[in-house]
Structure 1
Amino acid sequence: MKIGTRGSRLALWQAHFVQAELRKHGIESELEIIKTQGDRVQHLGFDKLEGKGFFTKEIEDALLAGQIDCAVHSLKDLPTNQPDGLVLAALSYRASVEDVILVHQDRVVKGKPFSLADGATVGTSSNRRKAILHDLHPGLLPVDIRGNVPTRMKKALSGELDAVVLAAAGLERLELDLSGLLVIKPSPREFVPAPGQGVMAIQTREEDIEMRKKLSLLHHPVVGECTNVERTVLNLMQGGCSMPLGVYCEKDQLGNYHVWASYAASATAPLVRVQVSRSTRAGLPEEVVEQLLSVQV
């Protein structure tokens, strides 16, 4: 089995994880590293890149061409509409969903939101993160940063920036040394993550039934249910990676679904927050969207 993946440390960690899970079922595989637009163009923010799927398109093209048998992606990087001929065969366990704010230890100001002074520089290229930061601490100065997880972390560690915002999942999976940094982990119900954050998606060709059967052995159904709600909200909002939209869905022990969502028209526009709970997923994403769009700010 040939597995397509990006070449970053985190992408390779994810691909090796899937390889190990497949091996538990007696399935051997090899990796094929594919460079995407998002890897090649490092000087532009996400909102300046053309189209959607700039971390996935080249890998999906290789899948459609039969050069690889399946692909491992971060679910939050995948556009909500699959290209014709491709399907998601499995979703992984969900790592910590939170965003983490890493603050240089010499820039910590106690008593301020996120322990950061007015005028502090915070590295992130995500409009969603910028909008939430602006809502919770309007005095911060977001700075666009690109690069892999260790590169972005070092911008706070070196003092080039006062802080950076990164996904907890990537930091955990790479087991990065965060000593020298104050680690702030806000609740995902307040600092609402990207739809699908913390989940790996395994994609294959729709027609390849045998491959789909093999990959389905790795699927986590509850993760599938919750992320489907999150990604349906994103789809209904007609958004991509650059939309300032956060959606997080939990399923409790009684089988009820709880959704937290935040949305802003731009990175500096007022932030709308909603929370919706229901006993069924039917109509749940639609209700979240209706509430997000009905609030006048």
Structure 2
Amino acid sequence: MRIGTRGSRLALWQAHFVQEELSRHGIASELEIIKTQGDRVQHLGFDKLEGKGFFTKEIEDALLEGRIDCAVHSLKDLPTNQPEGLVLAALSYRASVEDVVLIHKDRATSGMPFSLPEGATIGTSSNRRKAILKDLHPGLLPVDIRGNVPTRMKKALSGELDAVVLAAAGLERLDLDLSEMTVVRTSPREFVPAPGQGVMAVQTREEDIEMRKKLSLLHHPIVGECTNVERTVLNLMQGGCSMPLGVYCEKDQLGNYHVWASYAPTASDPLRRVQVSQSTRAGLAERVVEELLSAPVA
């Protein structure tokens, strides 16, 4: 089995994880590293890159052309509408879903939101994170940053910036040493993560039934249910990676679904927040969108 992946350290960790899961089922595989637009263009923020799927399109093209058999993506990087001929065959376990603020030790200030003083610089290229930071701590100064997880982390570690915001999942999967920094873990119910955050997706060709059967051995159904709600909200909002939208869905032990969502038309606009719970997924995403668009601004 030929597995397509980006070449970043985190992408390779994810691809190797899928390899190991497949090997547990007696399926041998090899990796094919593919460079995407998002890898090549490092000087622009996400909102300046054209179109959707700038971390996935080249890999999906290789899949459609038969150069690889499946592809491993971060689910939050995938556009909600699959290219014709491709399907998601499996979703992984969900790692810690929250965002983490990493602060240079000399800049941490107790008693302030995120332990950051007024005027502190904080690195992120995500409009979602910028909108939430503006809502919770208007005095911060967001700075666009790109690069892989270790590169962005070093912006705060070196003191180039006072802090950066990164997904907990990437930090945990790479087992990065955070001991020299002040670490602030946010609540996903307040600092709402991106749809699908913390989940790996395995994609393959729709027509390849045998491959889909093999990959289905890796699928986590409850993760699929919850992220389907999150991504349906994103789809209904007609958004991509640059939309300031956070959606997080949990399923409790009684089978009820709980959704937290935040949205702003642009990163500088006031944030709207909703929390919706119901016993089934039927109409849940539609209800979230309806309430989000009519919610009073924060």
- Normalising by structure 1, we get a TM-score of 1.00
Matches for 1:193-272 after TM superposition, within 5 Å: 193-272=193-272
* Cross-structure match for 1:148: 148
CA distance in 2, matches of 1:277, 1:267: 26
CA distance in 1, matches of 2:51, 2:151: 25
**What residue identity is the alignment partner of 1:21?**
E
Q: Where does the alignment leave 5 or more consecutive residues of structure 2 unmatched? A: none
CA distance in 2, matches of 1:274, 1:285: 12
CA distance in 2, matches of 1:271, 1:40: 32
Identical aligned pairs, as a percentage? 87
**What residue identity is the alignment partner of 1:272?**
R
**Which aligned segments of 4 or more residues in structure 1 are displaced greater than 4 angstroms?**
none
**What residue identity is the alignment partner of 1:11?**
A
SS at match of 2:268: coil
Q: Where does the alignment leave 5 or more consecutive residues of structure 1 unmatched? A: none
Matches for 1:76-87 after TM superposition, within 5 Å: 76-87=76-87
The alignment's C-alpha RMSD in Å is 0.4
**What residue identity is the alignment partner of 2:84?**
D
- Normalising by structure 2, we get a TM-score of 0.99
CA offset at residue 180 of structure 1? 1.2
* Cross-structure match for 1:290: 290
CA distance in 2, matches of 1:194, 1:90: 19
Q: Is the 8 A contact 2:274 2:295 kept in 1?
A: no
CA distance in 2, matches of 1:268, 1:108: 25
Q: Is the 8 A contact 2:245 2:264 kept in 1?
A: yes
1:37 aligns with 2:31: no
**What residue identity is the alignment partner of 2:131?**
A
Matches for 1:11-160 after TM superposition, within 5 Å: 11-160=11-160
SS at match of 1:234: helix
1:279 aligns with 2:279: yes
CA distance in 2, matches of 1:160, 1:228: 38
**What residue identity is the alignment partner of 1:136?**
L
SS at match of 1:217: helix
CA distance in 2, matches of 1:4, 1:56: 10
Aligned residues: 297
CA offset at residue 296 of structure 1? 3.8
Q: Is the 8 A contact 2:248 2:259 kept in 1?
A: yes
